[in-house]
Structure 1
Amino acid sequence: MRVTAVLVAYNRRELLRESLEALAAQSRPVDRLVVVDNASTDGSDAVAAELLEAWGAQARFVRLTENTGGAGGFAVGIAAAVAEDDVDWVWVMDDDTVPGPDALAGALAAHERYRETGQDDLAVMGSRVVWTDGEDHPMNTPKAKIRADADERRRAAEVGAMEIRSISFVSAFLRAARVREVGLPIADYFLWNDDFEFSARLLRGARGLYVPGSVVTHKTAKRGSSDADPGARFYYEVRNKLWVFRRSRALAPWEKLLYSAATARRWLRTFRASADRAQLRECLRRGWRDGWTHAPRPSRVVLRDAGVPVDAMIEVERMSKLGSR
Structure 2
Amino acid sequence: MTDSHDASSGAFDPASATIAVVTYNRSGLLTRLLTSISEMDPKPGHVVIVDNASSDDTGEVVESFRDRIGTTIVYRRLETNTGGSGGFSEGVRVAYELGSEWIWLMDDDVEVIGDGLAKMGRWAPRFRSIQGRRYDFDGSEFYWQYRIAERMGIPIPFAPAGFDESGYKPMNSGCFEGMFIHRDIVRQIGLPDPRFFIYWDDQLYGWLASRKTQSVIVDEFVLRRTREIKQWDMGIRHMNASSNAYRYYIMRNRAIMKKYYRALGVYQPVLFGLGTSLTFGKELIRLLFVERTVRGTSNLWRGLRDGRAISRDASFRTMAPLTESVD
Worse-matched range after superposition: 12-21 or 27-36:
27-36
- For structure 2, the residue ranges without an aligned partner over 5 or more in a row are 1-11, 151-162, 232-237
Shift of 1:132: 1.6
**1:92 counterpart = 2:105:** yes
Aligned identity (percent) is 26
1:92 is displaced (CA, Å) by 0.5
Q: 2:128: which partner in 1? A: 123
**1:42 matched to which residue of 2?**
56
Task: Flag the 1:292–1:263 CA change in 2: closer, same or farther, 3 A.
Answer: closer
The residue that corresponds to 1:65 in the other structure is 79
Superposition RMSD in Å: 3.1
TM-score (normalised: structure 1) = 0.77
Please list the CA deviations of residues 95-148 of structure 1 after superposition, one character each: whole Å capped at 9, or x if unmatched. 002111122111111234xx3xxxxxx33111112212221224x3423898xx
Is the helix fraction higher in 1 or 2? 1
In the TM superposition, what is the alpha-carbon distance from 1:57 to its structure 2 partner? 7.0
Match in the other structure for 1:119: none
The corresponding residue for 1:273 is 286
Contact 2:22 2:107 in 1 (8 A): yes
Normalization by structure 2: what TM-score? 0.77
Cα deviation, residue 256, structure 1: 8.1
Write the distance in 2 (CA, Å) between the matches of 1:35 and 1:298. 28
Contact 2:253 2:307 in 1 (8 A): yes
- State the one-letter code of the partner of 2:52: N
Are the aligned partners of 1:227 and 1:266 in contact in 2 as well (CA < 8 Å)?
no
* 1:37 Cα deviation after fit: 0.6
Cross-structure match for 1:197? 204
Counterpart check, 1:284 vs 2:300:
yes
1:222 & 1:268 partners in 2: Cα distance? 21
Q: Tell me the amino acid that sits aligned with residue 44 of structure 2.
A: V
What whole-Å deviation, never above 9, does each CA across 1:198-248 have from its counterpart, x for those lacking one? 121122132111012142112333263566443332001101122112444
- Aligned partner of 1:161 among 163, 168, 188: 168
* In 2: Cα distance, 1:57 partner to 1:109 partner: 21
Instruction: Please list the CA deviations of residues 286-308 of structure 1 after superposition, one character each: whole Å capped at 9, or x if unmatched.
Output: 211211212597799xxxxxxxx
Aligned with 1:59: secondary structure?
A: strand
How far apart, in 2, do the equivalents of 1:316 and 1:249 lie? 25
**Which residue identity does 1:102 align to in structure 2?**
D
How many residue pairs align between the two structures?
286
2:229 corresponds to 1:222: yes
